[in-house]
Structure 1
């Protein structure tokens, strides 16, 4: 089976085995207190309720654990039934009275939920894939007055050692670009538009997202480790279109840039980086394979890192956006 690209979707998952999702979880940072402490602190500062939360693009359900600890009711949504089936199995111990599921594109959630249904809406690694204006309208309508929207995104891990940052980081990016190129390039006009929106958004560190002063207030943009590295999982080398970062950041927004080597810090060897590259996007097991070019990049990484089993310290670039619906 293969990955297809239907209307209104960057890709459609077909026959994705549970093994993929376990590998995905093993090679991605956890959504722990580094992300959720700022979200919950921001939300509580407005004396907002911790009653109803919605997670858009829930995927494997990585954001659900912290939400379930704080909110009475959590709704997990995704446009893909395969993702939801895995997440449902992962959280089968949670009662349906606390955790419910919605199969829907993020832009279409008003077809499933009433306006003013949620106190918090979260969206991890998904927003650049959505139609920006439609998604913002949907979230604004779904939120209660004073409710919080939290959007976050992270990019590939980055080497902390200066020599590896100079020599090995470009090789890791080349491996990722090579993996993404057959998926990102060569599509029809609609697919190109979707991938370009995602590429431009990642290259912008999500600064492209506009928040109207008529609808939103108290806009915070927190970025980690954005001084030298990219947020994008794939760069211009993977694209058959121009990548054009833009900014909609206004003067009244709070922007924090933090270079933190301990942010989601990991110690990985070349084998873990290979696992990360091979699970970089959802695909069936039959497609989890390398070719001569990718093998070359991965072997070069291993050599630069000092050989098999030699670990290198890495951190992650990330951005968290917090905004409040105006009362």
Structure 2
């Protein structure tokens, strides 16, 4: 597996083998979730299904679903290795074209004429981008009535019947996360500050100017009682700034649904999740006894079994004026 070792490039050069592991370890976007996006496009948008962009395609899983509805899909990623991996994984369809391009630069990349796309999707990538530049770029790509769909899921939340056990598991999860993030240099610097601010703000810092957008809806699942951050912010310099750019006419729909994308995890699944999301540290590294101790403690707290895991999720939908 080929990976980047820079802390600014956690998702810059992973191959197809890695992405299979990643997809197995993370939640799966449900058909009902995609239908929410498609319904918005049909009811609030132009109801045209000719061209979609999948920005930050990673392994191409979102592009494959979009290809079931749209005549053509352009899937892009800033990493050439990602593009190659996605092309290999999705080679069964000729409806998807793959290109290397930074998301903020798409409006000038010439992959499609300006203002012709019917939908732009950006899954789990907006914290890695300059949100203002990205949304401006998406506006340039979209035709009038086109739909912008941006979503992100935060850290796993233990949702078993015993709140004391859940809290203990969450504490251990943060200990593991902090240990691993410290090993790759912590979360300091402009890239991490911007990314952490976006996640902590639950994407409320992603603005949709009224001159360009209408019918903005912000869906939030399991966000009222949970942070989306994957690490304990107190371990990295204290509370993270929360930014709110939600406009006065925008609709916010908050739901509590522990069953949303729910998974069943034991200590082994927690380990697999971390190894999938921070693979650069796990390559050819000596055993970390402290880390192993946390996994053993987690298994003990779980009684050697497993617990349901829920996810805080935000979906932003907006229609191009």
TM-score, normalised with respect to structure 2: 0.91
Q: Which deviates the most, 19-28 or 140-149?
A: 19-28
Looking at structure 2, the residues matched to 81 and 284 of structure 1 have their Cα atoms a distance apart, in angstroms, of 21
Cα distance change on mapping 1:323 and 1:266 into 2, 3 Å? same
Quote the offset at 1:234 in angstroms: 2.9
Q: How does 1:34-183 map to 2 (within 5 A)?
A: 34-45=32-43, 46-95=45-94, 98-113=95-110, 114-161=113-160, 162-183=163-184
Contact persistence 1:17–1:284 (CA under 8 A): no
Looking at structure 2, the residues matched to 183 and 94 of structure 1 have their Cα atoms a distance apart, in angstroms, of 38
Cα distance change on mapping 1:18 and 1:244 into 2, 3 Å? same
- Correspondence 1:198 to 2:199: no
Q: Which deviates the most, 226-235 or 255-264?
A: 226-235
Contact persistence 2:4–2:10 (CA under 8 A): yes
Cα distance change on mapping 1:241 and 1:169 into 2, 3 Å? closer
Could you tell me which of 16, 20, 23 is aligned with 1:22? 20
Contact persistence 1:185–1:240 (CA under 8 A): no
Cα distance change on mapping 1:235 and 1:325 into 2, 3 Å? farther
In structure 2, the residue matched to 1:210 is: 207
Q: Deviations over 1:12-42 (max 9, x none)?
A: 634x454322210101111221321110000
In structure 1, the residue matched to 2:273 is: 276
Contact persistence 1:153–1:319 (CA under 8 A): yes
Corresponding pairs, count: 315
Contact persistence 2:58–2:82 (CA under 8 A): yes
Looking at structure 2, the residues matched to 54 and 124 of structure 1 have their Cα atoms a distance apart, in angstroms, of 11
Quote the offset at 1:68 in angstroms: 1.0
Could you tell me which of 219, 232, 249 is aligned with 2:229? 232
SS, match of residue 228 in structure 1? coil
| Structure 2, unpaired ranges of 5+ | none
| Structure 1, unpaired ranges of 5+ | none
Looking at structure 1, the residues matched to 33 and 11 of structure 2 have their Cα atoms a distance apart, in angstroms, of 28
Q: Which deviates the most, 234-243 or 81-90?
A: 234-243
Contact persistence 1:220–1:322 (CA under 8 A): yes
Looking at structure 1, the residues matched to 311 and 139 of structure 2 have their Cα atoms a distance apart, in angstroms, of 30
Runs of 4+ in 1 over 4 A off after TM superposition: 9-12, 287-290
- Correspondence 1:297 to 2:300: no
Q: Deviations over 1:219-273 (max 9, x none)?
A: 1011111122221223425646862111111221111111102101111221111
TM-score, normalised with respect to structure 1: 0.89
